[in-house]
Amino acid sequence: MNNLSTPPDHDLPAGVRRRQRDELVAIIDHEAEAPRRRIAVPLLAAAAVIVVVAGLAVAVPALRDNSTPAPAGASTATQPKVAASKKPAAQPARTRELSATETAAFRNQCIAFTQYSSESFADYQVVHAFEYVGTARPSLARSWLVTRKGADYWICTRDGRGSVVGDSGFGPSISPNGKDVPYLFAPVDQRGTGGGMYIPSVARVTVQHTGEPAVEGVLKDGFWFAPMEDAKLTRDPKGQPVRPDNGLIGVTPGWTIRGYDGAGKLVYDSAKNGPAVKKCYSNPAATEVLVINAVKNPTPATCQKMFDWR
Amino acid sequence: MGRQDGLIVTTSDRELWERASAGSSEAFGQLYDRHARAVYNFLYRRTASWSDAEDLTSAVFLHAWRRRADVVLDRESALPWLLRAADYTVRNEWRAKRRYRRALAAAHLLADHQRDHADDVIGRLDGDRQLEQARSALDHLPRQEREIVELCVWSGLDQQAAAVALDIPLGTVKSRLSRARKHLRALGITDTFVETSS
Q: Per residue in A151-198, pLDDT tens?
A: 888 899 999 988 888 888 887 776 654 555 678 999 999 988 899 999
Rounded distance between C-alpha atoms, residue B43 and residue B46, angstroms: 5
Q: Which B residues in the span 115-174 are in contact with A, Cβ-Cβ below 8 Å?
A: 116, 118-119, 122, 125-128, 130-131, 133-134, 136-138, 149, 153-154
Of B36, B119, B188, the CB nearest to A2: B188
Which of B24, B25, B56 is the best mutation test for A, with the most CBs of A within 10 A?
B25
Q: Residue A193 to residues A165, A232, B17: CA-CA distances in angstroms?
A: 7, 13, 29
Cα atoms found within 13 Å of the Cα of residue A82, Cβ hemisphere only: 23
Pick the residue from chain B with its C-alpha nearest to A6.
B131
Pairing status of strand A204-209 against strand A152-159: unpaired
Of A7, A19, A241, the CB nearest to B125: A7
* Predicted pLDDT of residue B61: 93
Q: Are A110 and A121 in contact (CB under 8 A)?
A: yes
A20 vs B57, B127, B189: nearest CB: B57
What domains lie within chain B, and their CATH numbers? 7-125 (1.10.1740.10), 126-198 (1.10.10.10)
- In 3D space, the residue among B7, B165, B197 whose CA is nearest the CA of residue B87 turns out to be B165
Smallest CA–CA distance from B43 into chain A, residue? A9
Q: Tell me which residues of chain B, numbers 54 to 93, contact chain A at a CB-CB cutoff of 8 Å.
A: 54, 57-58, 61-62, 65-66
For residue B82, pLDDT beyond 70: yes
A39 to A24, A154, A180, B107: CA distances (angstroms): 23, 10, 10, 19
DSSP letter (8 states) at residue A123: G
Q: Tell me the shortest Cα–Cα distance from B72 to chain A, in angstroms.
A: 20
Q: Which residues of A touch B193 (CB under 8 A)?
A: 4
> Can you give the pLDDT at residue A233?
65
A137 touching B (Cβ < 8 Å): no
**Half-sphere exposure for A128 (CA within 13 Å, toward CB):** 24
Return d(Cα A99, Cα A105) in angstroms, integer: 10
| Interface pTM, i.e. ipTM | 0.80
By DSSP bridging, strand A304-305 and strand A281-282 are parallel
Rounded to a whole number of angstroms, the distance from the CA of A28 to the nearest CA of chain B is: 6
Of A4, A17, A23, the CB nearest to B153: A4
Which mean pLDDT values do the consecutive 10-residue runs of chain A (310 residues) have? 74 87 86 51 33 30 33 35 49 87 94 74 94 89 94 90 84 60 87 90 95 93 92 66 77 94 95 90 88 81 89
Whether pLDDT at B8 is above 60: no
Sequence-ordered list of residues with C-beta below 8 angstroms from that of B73, at least 6 positions apart, any chain: B13, B14, B17, B81, B164
Distance between CA A274 and CA B50 in Å, rounded? 50
Q: What's residue A240's pLDDT?
A: 56
Pairing of strands A281-282, A195-198: unpaired
Strand ranges for A133-235 from DSSP E: 141-149, 152-159, 164-170, 183-184, 188-190, 195-198, 204-209, 214-216, 218-220, 223-225, 234-235
In this complex, do B25 and A24 lie within 8 Å of one another by their Cβ atoms?
yes
Question: Averaged over B14-30, what is the pLDDT?
Answer: 85
Please name the residue ranges forming H helices in chain B: 13-21, 25-47, 50-66, 79-91, 93-106, 117-123, 127-138, 143-149, 159-166, 170-186, 192-195
Burial class (CB in 10 A: 0-12, 13-18, 19+), A134: exposed
Question: What's the rounded Cα separation, in Å, for the pair A178 and A59?
Answer: 13
- Give the list of residues 6+ apart from residue A58 with CB closer than 8 angstroms, or none: A151, A172, A181, A182
Sheet strands (E) in chain A = 95-97, 125-132, 141-149, 152-159, 164-170, 183-184, 188-190, 195-198, 204-209, 214-216, 218-220, 223-225, 234-235, 241-242, 255-260, 266-269, 281-282, 289-291, 304-305, 307-308
Nearest to B62 among A27, A33, A112 (CB): A27
Q: Measuring CA to CA, how many Å separate A221 from each of A29, A146, A163, A197, A227?
A: 32, 10, 25, 9, 18
Rounded Cα gap, residues B79 and B40, in angstroms: 12
pLDDT given at position A175: 60
Model pTM? 0.50
A108 Cβ contact list (under 8 Å, min separation 6): none
Name the residue of chain A whose CA is nearest to B35's CA.
A11
| CB-nearest partner of A20 from B58, B116, B184 | B58
**CA–CA distance, A13 with A235 (Å, rounded to integer):** 22
Give the least confident one: A245-254, B48-57, B107-116: B107-116
Nearest alpha carbon to residue B97 among B47, B169, B139: B47
Other Cβ atoms less than 10 A from the Cβ of A138: the count is 12
Contact A11 B108 (CB under 8 A): no
DSSP type of residue A28: H
Helix or strand holding residue A270 (H, E)? helix A270-273
Indicate the range of B42-46, B136-140, B155-159 predicted with least confidence. Answer: B136-140
Q: Is A23 in contact with A241 (CB distance < 8 Å)?
A: no
Residue B109 has pLDDT above 70, yes or no: no
| Residue A11, pLDDT score | 85
Q: CB distance B25–A32 less than 8 Å?
A: yes
Dist CA B127 CA B192 (whole Å): 19
Compute the nearest-CA separation of B84 from chain A (Å): 19
**How much is the pLDDT for B122?**
46
Please give the pLDDT value at position A146.
95
Q: Which residues contact A67 (CB under 8 A, 6 or more apart)?
A: none
Mean pLDDT for all residues in chain B = 78
